[in-house]
């Protein structure tokens, strides 16, 4: 992650490999007893009102070898900080494309959360 002058940028990449005891089990992610997942993500933010309001945008992908299509999810949101970041309210809206690796299947998630730092 990088931070400075009101901007933030976070990136991530994960690779997970697994094997089942039963080669016939798929669990939606295994193929012939093996699973390989690649997850990438990038999120950027800008403090529109320094110390109080941050605007966020992100994009992540999930590539699972056993699934025919790459799942990707753009997102937008905002964080409102209260009392010098002791309390944060965050709103996020995410659109998902190719849900469960199925071409053309879409989904939406909207969240509102509060975090208290003590």
pLDDT band, residue 72 (cuts 50/70/90)? very high
* Residues with Cβ within 8 Å of residue 102, at least 6 apart in sequence: 67, 68, 69
Q: How many angstroms separate the CA atoms of 87 and 75, rounded?
A: 22
Contact 64, 27 (CB under 8 A): no
Work out the number of other CB atoms within 10 angstroms of the CB of residue 71: 20
pLDDT of residue 23: 86
Mean pLDDT of the 39-48 span: 97
Q: How many angstroms separate the CA atoms of 57 and 73, rounded?
A: 11
Q: What's the pTM?
A: 0.81
């Amino acid at each position: 992650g990088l931070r400075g002058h009101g901007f933030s940028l976070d990136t991530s990449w994960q690779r997970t490999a697994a094997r089942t005891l039963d080669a016939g089990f798929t669990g939606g992610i295994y193929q012939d007893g093996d699973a390989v997942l690649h997850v990438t993500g990038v999120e950027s933010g800008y403090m529109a009102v320094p110390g109080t309001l941050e605007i966020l945008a992100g994009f992540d992908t999930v590539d699972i070898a056993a699934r025919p299509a790459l799942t990707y999810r753009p997102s937008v949101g905002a964080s409102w900080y209260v009392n010098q970041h002791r309390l944060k309210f965050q709103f996020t809206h995410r659109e998902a494309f190719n849900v469960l690796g199925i071409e053309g299947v879409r989904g939406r998630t909207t969240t509102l959360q509060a975090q208290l730092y003590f």
